[in-house]
Amino acid sequence: MGKTDLRVLGKMPLNAEPPCLVELTRHPITPLHLAYARNHSVIKDLASEFDSYTVKIDGEMEGMEEKVLNVKDMIASFPKKEVVAVLICAGNRRAKMQETTGKAVRGIKWSEGTIANARWAGVLLRDILISAGVSEQEDDQKGFHVWFASNVAPCEDDACYGGSIPLDEAMAKDGDVMLAYEMNDGPLTPDHGFPLRVVVPGYFGMRWVKWVDQITISREESPNFYQQRDYKMLPECVTSPEKAIDEDWWGRIPAMQRLNCNSVVAHIQCLTPACPDQKTLKVTGYAYAYSSISRVEISADGGDTWHEVRITYQEGSWSWSLWEGELVVDIDTDALEFANHGPKNGRPKTKITVISRAFDRSGSAQDTDCRWNLRGVGFCGVGVGSVEV
Ligand SMILES: Nc1nc2c(c(=O)[nH]1)N[C@H]1C(S)=C(S)[C@@H](COP(=O)(O)O)O[C@H]1N2
Ligand SMILES: [Mo]
């Protein structure tokens, strides 16, 4: 699948992420060979079924009639819309949560690479839903949800893959929720959902249903396992899967939907020092939020003082933000020699840790107090990187 550049965390189904954040963040638009793969089922190659591939649309909303849309006709008859949007797994940074809290989390131990900023093209879901009779009146849409399902393969925990989003999100006049058939200016590849996948800019990846073939309007959220029994930030007191079920925590905690505000340190480079007891560090990373990023800050003293960095890339409303900044750090050489009992291999080394935090356009800050949760989802503690100087 051309995914040889990824670190494979699971072969069957395929789950893999790019191994190097320096390489990942070098590209504003993530090239396909660095786009992570997250699957709860086998990857279906539907190329031979393209001509007959259909999406069924139905629902319990007044005025709707069941519709079966052939994908080829759909692509030909609805306007093409393009959007740059970042796709992020809710389990991104799971390993960091475990490392930071010292408590085991359940799930694939993703590092910080389950994120791909891509250019998507497809048809607006809004246009499709209107053609199926969904009301354009906001009042009529309240309380409804749009279910997406893929029936092409059985999944690990359910007969099909599914999820839902609130209908008003899909119908928003300035929204960009789409059924995409292109990624980075080419047709979707089988692993990213060919021939059709849902793209929900600003929402976590599990709602971006691949190989989508069914759309349903309902007063309830999707009953699918991946909406109801996974992808929820359970409270800290829920320490086992049994407890989650016995005390009905899955039923009580809302499903994760919109991206939280988050930042990650990708790389720290030590620039040539101006004087021996000072180091200039160049720090780079990424950040994202539902309402896009307004500011990112870094600190080399554990958060006592923060320095704003430059946003070097941000595109439209839904992309990730790439950032870079310089920090001048004082090194106490006397203390260093003492701590290391004198220079060993030429000169003593010390480890400098840099942390990051982000702010979004709505004024919210990254929730860096982020706690442990059983499934290790939504981790947004400070971004952390370190370098030996
Ligand atoms: N049909 C289907 N759609 C799916 C999934 C899946 O397992 N099956 N995984 C979801 C999850 S959890 C994520 S994070 C993204 C990953 O998309 P990618 O593999 O294109 O990176 O797809 C989502 N859509
Ligand atoms: Mo995911």
| Distance between Cα 89 and ligand 1 center (Å) | 8
340 or 225: which leads in pLDDT: 225
Mean pLDDT of 91-101: 97
Final residue belonging to a domain, choices 252, 275, 293: 252
CB within 8 A of 71, min separation 6: which ones?
Answer: 50, 53, 54, 55, 181, 195, 196
- pTM of the full structure: 0.95
Residue 372 has which token pair? Answer: 């442990």
Q: Which ligand is nearest to the CA of 117?
A: 1
- 101 and 213 housed in the same domain: yes
> What CATH number is given to the structural domain containing 323?
2.60.40.650
Ligand 1 atom 23, closest CA? 206
| Burial class (CB within 10 angstroms; exposed 0-12, middle 13-18, buried 19+) of 334 | exposed
Tokens of 132: 């199926």
Task: Pull the structure tokens for residue 371.
Answer: 């706690």
- The Å distance, Cα 35 to ligand 1 centre, comes to 12
Same domain, 280 and 238: no
Q: What are the E-state strand segments in 5-158? A: 7-10, 15-17, 54-59, 67-70, 81-88, 115-124, 145-150
Q: What is the token pair recorded at 36?
A: 């992570």
Q: Which ligand 1 atom minimizes the distance to the CA of 13?
A: 7
Residues 370 and 302 in one domain: yes
**How far is the centre of ligand 1, averaged over its atoms, from the C-alpha of 95 (Å)?**
19
> Do 62 and 178 fall into the same domain?
yes
For residue 13, cis peptide bond before it (omega within 30 degrees of 0): yes
In single-letter form, the type of residue at position 276 comes to P
The pLDDT, as a whole number, for residue 162 is 98
Residues 244 and 275 in one domain: no
How many domains are contained in the chain?
A: 2
Spell out where 184-277 has E strands: 186-187, 197-199, 214-218, 262-271
Q: What is the pLDDT of residues 304-351, one digit of tens each?
A: 999 999 999 999 999 999 999 999 998 876 655 555 554 555 667 789
User: pLDDT for 2-34, tens place per residue?
Assistant: 456 899 999 999 999 999 999 999 999 999 999
Does 97 map to a domain? Answer: yes
Q: What are the angstrom distances between the C-alpha of 170 and each of 178, 182, 320? A: 8, 19, 21
Segments forming the whole domain that contains residue 159: 7-252
Ligand showing the shortest atom-to-Cα distance for residue 116: 1
Using the atom order of ligand 1, give the atom closest to the CA of residue 204: 14
Task: Indicate whether 80 and 184 sit together in one domain.
Answer: yes
Close Cβ partners of 26 (under 8 Å, ≥ 6 residues apart): none
Of 174, 181, 147, 232, residue with least CA distance to 71? 181
Residue 221 shares a structural domain with residue 288: no
Query: Which has the closest alpha carbon to 152: 9, 36, 50?
Result: 50
pLDDT of residue 332: 74
Nearest CA to ligand 1 atom 5: 39
377 C-alpha vs ligand 2 centroid, how far in Å?
9
- Residue 1 is predicted with a pLDDT of 44
Give a yes or no: residue 22 inside a domain. yes
Q: What is the mean pLDDT of the chain?
A: 94
Determine if ligand 1 sits within 6 Å of the CB of residue 188: no
Q: Is residue 257 part of a domain?
A: no
Q: What is the pLDDT of residues 206-218, one digit of tens each?
A: 999 999 999 999 9
| Residue 285, both tokens | 């990373």
